[in-house]
Amino acid sequence: MLAESKTVEFKRQYTDEIRKTVAAFANTDGGSIYVGVEDDGSVCGVADTADVTLRISNAIRDSIRPDVVLFAEAAVEQMDGKSVVVVTVQRGTARPYYLAGKGIRPEGVFVRQGASTVPATETAILNMIKETGGDCYEDARSLNQQLTFEWTAAYSVKKGVAFGEPQKRTLSLIGEDGMYTNVGLLLSEQCAHTIKLAVFEGDKKAVFKERREFSGSVLYQLEEAYAFIDRFNRTRAEFSGLDRIDMRDYPPEAIREALLNAIIHRDYAFSGSILISIFDDRLEIVTIGGLVKGITLRDVMLGISILRNQHLANICYRLKLIEAYGTGMPKIMGCYDDYAVKPQIEATDNAFKITLPNTNSKTAERIPGTAATFSEREMQVQRLFSKQGFIMRRDVEAAAGVSQSTAVVLLREMVEKGLIKKIGSGKLVRYQQDFPNAE
């Protein structure tokens, strides 16, 4: 005699609860629903099997997403001389399956736990998505399927790019299963990832002057973050003869490229925000997600780019926000060619930070006649500071291709000129950039 279990469910008659059980079986290990059988296993039968079979088939087709019809079948069997409708469900390949009116949330996704059908936890839902969608965050189905794209659509029209249903599929906002992917989530008003910005007084995180947080489409966040920074990107005027020369605190192109880098390369599998801090002497952008495995900082500075978010990068390319992959960092560094201090790049396993110096601060005076002021070897030493805050003698040996004694002499001369500062002594000696004001 049959008994209810993880793969067997009894129903005396048809009820809407059958939809939950079908979804649970498809999400777990499959199973069978016997309609016309009491909870104790006794057979009561179904009077109108055709009507019940039709209602079950319609419910499965209309109420469960993604389409689970291929994995479920309703048939009439005879048990103890009575007609019973048996719904056989296989484990699906597009899990998680959920009730259309509830979405991919615990109240819409069900699994089998022993002989019971229960709501799935968020962790279980995410695991199902990862198992069926792979490790690529962009291609995985969005937990939220109620997405709107009003801002992105308007922005695309402004850029002369179509943004209809065909384009959503081409750009991978909609997956092969007809459901929104995480790329769609990132471009929607419902995107939960944010950018947090703060302006501080002085050069420390002590006194706030202003702070903001932007959510919604990452393209909207990009626009708003740039506009916010631009408000605090002051202009200093100098005169050369009768000509007025305006210089911004931060090169606008450097800000633009740094923001695009943060948006395109961040790891959206984590929920932390992009953090932007503006100080009197610098602007810092910290992004969740370190370098892609196999890439080093040296590779990044050379313009090598392996994209963490390929689809998002393609969208930015179509919208003409980026010209080509891998050009961002060289452009940022190029904006500071005429300045003594350079952008600083730092990376850990889980974060990436870029610091843009304020070009109008006293530590960032423009280099007068760069080629004449610095020797080639001194310029090589200066370039080291674009990759790290401090350098050691062996760094100079490797970068300039010189011997230990030559490196020692070179560093000593630069200290005497006031170009760099010596910190510590003996084996622990380090050097920090310390360029004086240009007259």
Number of helical H runs and strand E runs in the chain: 15, 19
The span from the CA of 156 to the CA of 163, in Å, is: 6
Hey, where are the domains in the chain? Answer: 8-133, 195-364, 370-433
d(CA 117, CA 5): 10
**342 to each of 37, 134, 251, 329, how far by Cα in Å?**
76, 40, 12, 12
Local confidence pLDDT in tens for the 439 residues of the chain? 689 999 999 999 999 999 999 999 999 999 999 999 999 999 999 999 999 999 999 999 999 988 899 899 999 999 999 999 999 999 988 888 999 888 888 899 999 999 999 999 988 887 887 777 656 788 888 888 899 999 999 999 999 999 999 999 999 999 888 889 999 999 999 998 999 999 999 888 888 999 999 999 999 999 999 999 999 998 876 655 556 666 789 999 999 999 999 999 898 888 789 999 999 999 999 998 877 766 677 767 666 667 788 899 999 999 988 876 667 788 888 888 877 788 988 888 788 899 999 988 765 555 444 433 456 677 778 778 767 778 888 888 888 777 887 888 888 888 877 778 888 887 788 888 764 433 3
CB within 8 Å of 114: residues ≥ 6 apart = 5, 6
Sign of the C-alpha dihedral, residues 259, 264, 267, 273? positive
Q: Find, among 366, 329, 343, the residue nearest to 283 by Cα.
A: 343
Which run of H or E residues covers position 217?
none
**Which fold does the domain 370-433 belong to in CATH?**
Arc Repressor Mutant, subunit A (1.10.10)
Rounded to two decimals, the pTM is 0.60
In the CATH hierarchy, which top-level class contains the domain 195-364? alpha beta
Its sign, for the CA torsion 333, 339, 342, 343, is negative
Query: Could you count the other beta carbons within 10 Å of the beta carbon of residue 391?
Result: 20
Tokens encoding 209: 């002057």
Burial class (CB in 10 A: 0-12, 13-18, 19+), 356: buried
Quick check: helix, strand or coil at residue 166? helix
Fold agreement (8-133, 195-364): no
Which segments of 46-105 are extended strands (E)?
64-65, 72-79, 82-89, 98-99
Copy the structure tokens of residue 47.
């009077």
Q: Domain 8-133, what architecture?
A: 2-Layer Sandwich (3.30)
List, for residues 103-159, the tens digit of each pLDDT value. 888 899 999 999 999 999 988 887 887 777 656 788 888 888 899 999 999 999 999
Q: Please tell me the distance from the alpha carbon of residue 315 to that of residue 311, in angstroms, as a whole number.
A: 6
